[in-house]
Amino acid sequence: MDIPHAINSWVYYKIPVRVKETNCKYCNSENVTKKGVRHDKQTYKCKDCGHIFVANGKFSRMRNDRSIIVAALNCYYDGLSLRKAQRNLEQVFGEEVSQVTILNWIKKYSRLVKEYMVTQVPQLSGLWHEDETMLQCKGRSIWFWEMIDEDTKFMVASHISGTRSMEDTIAIFQKVFDQSKVRPKAVFVDGSHVYSSAFNKVFWTMRKDTRPELVQSRNKSKRNKQHSREIAWYTKGQNKANARTEIF
């Protein structure tokens, strides 16, 4: 699942299509009561969490409609700069939003989307491809590690580090195992000598029927090369470390 799909998935989880407009926008409870009128708008109070809100189709404590916020996040993670995302919102929705506001949305809702995605259990094929990409951030090099499921293209896990060492290789394998809760059928990697030791440290088991296979190749697959180009495009001209840390 890519980032824009994850954002939209979180929105439909947070505010289901069939949910009543008067449900609490903080806890989604139906146990609400009217709490008078403010600025000619009916307000409600949630009896479960105690919050007072207006049923206006917006996220809690946000002035803009949720469709504007989601569109801004999708533009940004589709590779547009803050300036271009701002221009699109003005041209398509007629909303004048500052670049700082869009950046604040990215920082706030990326964390919420991450918390939601951690709870999801994807249906994986068990054939995983691991790859790492070096990015330039504020004059220094950082490594972005990723593990992608072959069939669903779901990013099973990711890792950011300043080095490309044995410890970092073990870290990405351990994150994959912790988040997926299962061993893969096979993991495809490049020809680096550190993969074998790190792989065995995390995935090796005495049972041959459940022991995953490590497939090493000195040449990156076409799929991995394409995904590396996509990662470079997403982070071009932006604060790479901040953007990646917020999402992953």
pLDDT at 23: 78
Give the CB-side neighbour count of residue 187, counting CA atoms within 13 A: 27
pLDDT at 170: 92
What string of pLDDT tens digits covers the 248 residues of the chain?
A: 445 555 555 554 454 433 456 777 777 788 888 888 877 788 888 888 888 877 766 676 677 777 888 888 888 877 788 999 999 889 888 888 899 999 988 888 777 776 666 666 667 888 999 988 888 888 888 999 988 888 877 788 889 999 889 999 999 999 888 877 788 899 999 888 889 899 999 888 888 888 889 998 766 545 555 555 554 444 444 444 344 333 33
Query: Which of 118, 138, 165 is at the close of a domain?
Result: 118
Domain identity same for 133 and 234:
yes
Determine how β-strand 155-161 pairs with β-strand 140-149. Answer: antiparallel
Domain identity same for 82 and 158:
no
Domain identity same for 44 and 145:
no
Enclosing domain of residue 102:
3-118
How far apart are the C-alpha atoms of 116 and 95, rounded to whole Å? 28
Asked if 95 and 70 count as a contact pair (C-beta separation under 8 A), the reply is no
Q: How many domains does the chain have?
A: 2
Element (H, E) at 144: strand 140-149
